[in-house]
Chains A and B, each alone.
Chain A
Amino acid sequence: MTDIFETSIKTSTGKALRREEMVINMGPQHPSTHGVLRLEVVADGEIVIDVIPHIGYLHRCFEKHAENMTGYQQVVPYVDRMDYCAAMNMDFGYVLAVEKLLGIQVPERVEYIRVIMAELQRVASHLIAAGTYGLDIGAFTPFLYMFRERERILDLFEMTCGARLLYNYMWVGGVSHDLPPGFIDKAKDFCQYFKPKIKEYNDLLSYNEIFIKRTANVGVLPGDVAIAYGCSGPVLRGSGVDFDLRRDDPYSVYHKFDWKPEIGKGEMGAVGDCWDRYIVRIREMIQSINIVEQALNQIPEGDVATAIPKRIRPNAGDVYVRTESARGELGFYVISDGTAKPFRIKARSPSFVNLSVIPEISRGGMIADLVAIAGSLDIVLGEVDR
């Protein structure tokens, strides 16, 4: 028997619309999608029945580029451009994968420099995430406060490698430059300067009544669903799953520092709502600053590069290496065929996987909540589309 309420109009997944339903396109040019993302929303009045994400507007086939480079080293700038908000973390993941394939150990100073950079970058990235999230919800001021602090981090990066957004700083076997004179003092100053700012953000945004009303109990993602969908990073920890690759699958020198991952506890509503995902990012910044301070105090003297041949030729084989980027588990699956060109590089980008959960958590909510949900996942489209 046919359903008399079904119409002949179909969504792009081929499902027929019912009479009371309509399709609304959010994006590709929409301020709250943080880039060119199109959400095809099937709505009944204001209620979201289904969401079909359409991605690929920023696709430039990084993987094809990587296969056509003349060497492994040349891929690093491309990796930078995947997640332009956390380029250091992306570099880190890629160089670790190639180094594991080569089987080389980098000097300890390099490990420390990399950890310092990666953690500072994580703070900068979370500042963007939290700031623009406030912007989505309608709070303009915190955004300016957070960008003020981010500016100081970018100054530190500029001092180190000359670039402010896309660094090409971590190379296979080392880093491009040693830390400049005075960096350690400046970085320590920044840590001291940054710590009290967290209270400002909390006063302005985190515990703001309107902000809590908009985000608490919205887009609840239970822990088991998050694991099944492969979510990682703050999205997974916001759902109350105590899992951080820096602690649970340690790489580099993270085991030497004293810190703990932050998890969502459901303080304002259900565990795994948008507020939990947001507050995990705010609290992670404190942990990252802690790690940076410890690393600055412990950093040893030494070389900043190992002797590796100019043309890197790893033995034939494959490796999957994952690191904790600012958005979650960043994995690189690299296959080498013994030549100087990578045979295949697949990037498992955290935003891509985190975004795939959006239909699951936005069904039954309001259209206005969709903005809050998309913002709380903190996607960077350069990394989703690669």
Chain B
Amino acid sequence: MTHQEISEKIKLQFPQAIIETKFEGVVDPYVKIIPEQIFEVMLFLHVDENLKFDFLMCLSGIDTGKGNLGVVYNLFSMTHRHKINIKVEVPKEKPEVPSITNVFPAANWHEREAFDLIGIIFTGHPDPRRILMPYDWEGHPLRKDYKTPEFYQGMKIPY
């Protein structure tokens, strides 16, 4: 199925969910949806017979630099061999996105990484710990306004 058809199917099921779709003039077409419904949309994409997205290729957290944080999901269907990119955006003050680990177990570590480096809180995540940085690290390094700390646990960082 093409991106347009997939987007139409989402629209039919969740009339209010889609904020923006872009298929022309971009390298990778995408569908932007509201963060509150991401779990339901993902579940629908996963179980629907004609869509059957079963492979989460990538999940990236991003700092848009304009006061928002975002998550990009790249999905692929092993059965039908089609792709879709889903985007959500949340404000920096309340960066909460429902976790999709229960739909795609692959999202578990990706979401932990996005929490660790960007600071997006995935509500309902089964194991919300840091993954790459030390467990007692403060701050989220990939945010655009991140300042490298001078001290770590009272030790001066010499660079």
Instruction: Pick the residue among B60, B109, B129 that contacts A333 (CB under 8 A).
Output: B60
Which residue of the partner chain B has the closest CB to A228? B105
B85 on the A face (CB < 8 A): yes
Binds A, one of B34-42, B51-59, B89-97: B51-59
A229 to B60, CA, bound (A): 16
Residues of A within 8 A of B72 (CB): 318, 320, 333
**Minimum C-beta distance from B92 to chain A (A):** 15
B81 at the interface (CB under 8 A from A): yes
Of all chain A residues, the one with the shortest Cβ separation from B108 is: A356
> 18 more A-B contacts (CB under 8 A) besides A228-B104, A346-B58?
A56-B130, A61-B142, A67-B142, A227-B54, A227-B55, A230-B56, A230-B105, A317-B28, A319-B27, A320-B28, A320-B58, A331-B58, A331-B74, A337-B65, A346-B61, A346-B62, A348-B58, A356-B106
The interface bits of chain A over 357-386 (1 if a CB of B lies within 8 angstroms of the residue's CB, else 0) are 000100000000000000000000000011
Q: Is residue A18 contacting chain B, with contact meaning CB distance below 8 A?
A: no
On chain A, the residues within 8 Å of B63 by CB distance are: 344
* Chain A hits for B142, CB < 8 A: 61, 63-64, 67, 344
Are B109 and A385 interface neighbours, CB within 8 A? no
Q: Which residues of A contact B106 (CB under 8 A)?
A: 228-230, 353, 356
Interface residues on A, range: 35 or more
Bound together, the chains give a CA A86 to CA B66 distance in angstroms of 37
List, in ascending order, chain B residues with CB within 8 A of A152's CB: none
A125–B91 Cα gap in the complex (Å)?
Answer: 43
Residues of A within 8 A of B98 (CB): none
The number of chain B residues with a CB under 8 A from chain A is 34
Give 19 pairs: A residue, B residue, CB < 8 Å, sorted on A: A12-B129, A13-B127, A56-B133, A56-B134, A59-B133, A61-B132, A103-B27, A227-B54, A229-B105, A230-B55, A230-B105, A243-B78, A319-B27, A320-B57, A344-B60, A348-B57, A348-B60, A353-B109, A360-B105
B27 touches A317 (CB 8 A): yes
Mask, B100-141, CB within 8 Å of A = 1, is 000011101110000001000000000101111110000001
Interface residues of A, dominant DSSP? mixed
Interchain CB contact under 8 A, A64 and B141: yes
B157, CB-defined interface residue at 8 Å: no
Min CB–CB distance A236 → chain B (angstroms): 9
A248 contacts partner chain B, Cβ-Cβ < 8 Å: yes
Question: Which residues in A have their C-beta under 8 angstroms from that of B133?
Answer: 56, 59
How far is the CB of A320 from the nearest CB of chain B, in Å? Answer: 5
Q: Which residues of B contact A228 (CB under 8 A)?
A: 54, 104-106
State the CA gap A100–B106 with chains docked (Å).
26
Nearest to B27 among chain A residues (CB) is: A319
Measured CB to CB, the closest approach of chain B to A132, in angstroms, equals: 24
Is residue B12 contacting chain A, with contact meaning CB distance below 8 A?
no
Complex interface: chain A residues within 8 A of B108 (CB): 356
Contacts of B130 in A (CB 8 A): 56
